[in-house]
Amino acid sequence: MEAANRLRITAKDCWAVGDESKDIIAAKKADMYTVAALWGSLDKESLKKTRPDAIFETVTLTSFYKAICNYLLHL
């Protein structure tokens, strides 16, 4: 939220990327678009259960592109 405030943008215009359930839960509470980073997660199933807006299985341009398309479809 500090970064959003400094940039003078709303939380809805921010993406939060996390590799733990608590990251996704906190970002959802802040009303941010949530992305689960599975490549760094020790507990992938728990992370998926938080129902992030997008899931990155790997660090690839394809994963990023799919997430952007999904985000734009839901604006």
Query: What is the chain's pLDDT, residue by residue, as a tens digit (75 residues)?
Result: 788 888 898 988 898 999 999 999 999 999 999 999 988 777 888 988 999 998 888 877 777 777 778 778 876
Length of the chain: 75
Homologous superfamily of the 2-73 domain (CATH): HAD superfamily/HAD-like (3.40.50.1000)
The domain locations on the chain are 2-73
Task: Give the amino acid at 71.
Answer: Y
How confident is the model at residue 62, as a pLDDT? 78
Q: Tell me the CA distances in angstroms from 30 to 14, 37, 63, one per residue in order.
A: 10, 18, 24
